[in-house]
Amino acid sequence: MDLENIKNYDEIISKYFDKILGYLPNILLAIVIFIVGWWIIKITTGWLRKFFLKKDYDPTLENFLLSLTNWALKVLLFVTVVSQLGVQTSSFVAIIGAAGLAIGLALQGSLANFAGGVLILLLKPFKVGDFIKGQGIEGTVKEISIFNTKLLTFGNQLAIIPNGKLSNDNIINYTEEGKRRENLVFGISYDDDVKLAKDILLKLTLEQETVMAEPAPMIVLAELADSSVNLSLRYWALNDDFWALRWHILEEGKARLEAAGISIPYPQRDVHMYAEDVKS
């Protein structure tokens, strides 16, 4: 190897060594940023985990939000470190944006269900074990996941409702308050004694131990209907006693009204016919 080649190698090595020395502060700073950033991510996720434990959020939501936060911070740290090394980050931002747009368009329905699931788990309009009505379906909540909610209907069928639709619909939670007010309607004939019928039904209601004393039961004349005089019997009961009490009062109320000679009329219509003289 001649002296000229050796000289060229020395110049190349010197040139790249100078470049490495020039990049060395950026490399060291990038390493420091990576170490400090990784430590901050661990501190942040640990703080979030403690926060979720205090707030008693749903475990499914907690794990998802922790994972999402962890990955988002790591991506941000990666972009910061790479930019410190002199790499243009605009291309990374463009790639991430394009990927997010493509995924969003492809998974519109799933993302709507996901967003609905997050809202349900955060706002808690109902919880597992509650009896609710949503999307025209009544049932006991069996499971709440990120994408759908499972209800066990009265007939023991499993109903799976997408969270996107459920979170944007009216939801009736029958369990939340712990008690319910019933409004039973008894129709009697126009010829019957209204006061007697009211006394019979109110006495029956007050005899039931599972009827709440406060607010006190009441019965009112609610409507003068086409075929009957409708009485509205209103009382409060705990959720656990509600259905058995309803069925008993309906059956026993009918029996006591009939025993007192008070009829429950069928729908009917009176037709009056008039004779018309026809002149020849």
Question: Can you tell me the distance from the alpha carbon of 116 to that of 24, in angstroms, rounded to the nearest whole number?
Answer: 49
The confidence score (pLDDT) of residue 245 equals 94
Q: At what angle do helices 108-123 and 90-106 cross, to 10 degrees?
A: 90
Please confirm whether the linkage preceding 215 is cis (ω < 30° from 0). Answer: yes
162 pLDDT higher than 70: yes
Check residues 232 and 7 and name the one with the higher pLDDT. 232
Q: What is the mean pLDDT of residues 146-158?
A: 89
Across-strand partners of 179? Answer: 238
DSSP string, 28-48: HHHHHHHHHHHHHHHHHHHHH
Q: What is the mean pLDDT of residues 53-73?
A: 72
Q: How confident is the model at residue 246 (pLDDT cuts 50, 70, 90)?
A: very high
170 pLDDT higher than 50: yes
Token pair belonging to 169: 């619909």
Check residues 64 and 33 and name the one with the higher pLDDT. 33
The confidence score (pLDDT) of residue 107 equals 47
List the alpha helices (DSSP H) in 146-223.
163-167, 194-207
pLDDT per residue as tens digits for the range 79-123: 787 777 766 666 666 666 666 656 555 445 567 777 888 888 778
Check residues 67 and 200 and name the one with the higher pLDDT. 200
List the alpha helices (DSSP H) in the chain.
3-55, 59-84, 90-106, 108-123, 163-167, 194-207, 239-259
pLDDT per residue as tens digits for the range 2-25: 555 555 555 566 666 556 656 667
Q: How confident is the model at residue 229 (pLDDT cuts 50, 70, 90)?
A: very high
Q: How confident is the model at residue 76 (pLDDT cuts 50, 70, 90)?
A: confident
Across-strand partners of 134? Answer: 137, 171
CA distance readout (Å), 230 to 3, 224, 226, 246, 265? 117, 6, 10, 17, 11
The confidence score (pLDDT) of residue 258 equals 93
Q: How confident is the model at residue 188 (pLDDT cuts 50, 70, 90)?
A: very high
Give the range among 63-72, 75-84, 228-237, 271-280 with minimum mean pLDDT: 271-280
